[in-house]
Amino acid sequence: MSHVSTGAATLALSASPSVNELVWLSVKPLIRILIPAATGFTLLKRGVFPPDGTRSASLLLLNFLLPCLLFSKIVPSFTSENVHALGPIILAAFFYQALPGAFGIFVR
């Protein structure tokens, strides 16, 4: 019987997971989001983090940290077997950037 490792839970391919495992697997991402959100809310309400710092932190998060996180999660997923899929991704990214730019120049 082969097994697939999904973090803390190991699920057998032929057996369906129990309800407890399914609930835990669905709640775990929510916990990962709620803990930092609650921490930020608490820091803001206690005055530890000023409102100007909140705006700066959100800009830093959106413009720098999230792209870094995406890059660090996406790059290791490419192997020598699936590297050929990188070409269409780059082409699609180019068109997602170039077409709105061209339309913006055209509309102006």
For 79-88, how does the pLDDT look when each residue is reduced to its tens digit (9 = 90+)?
A: 888 888 888 9
- Is a pLDDT exceeding 80 seen at residue 16? yes
User: What's the confidence (pLDDT) of residue 80?
Assistant: 84
Distance CA 14, CA 3 (A): 9
Distance CA 61, CA 67 (A): 9
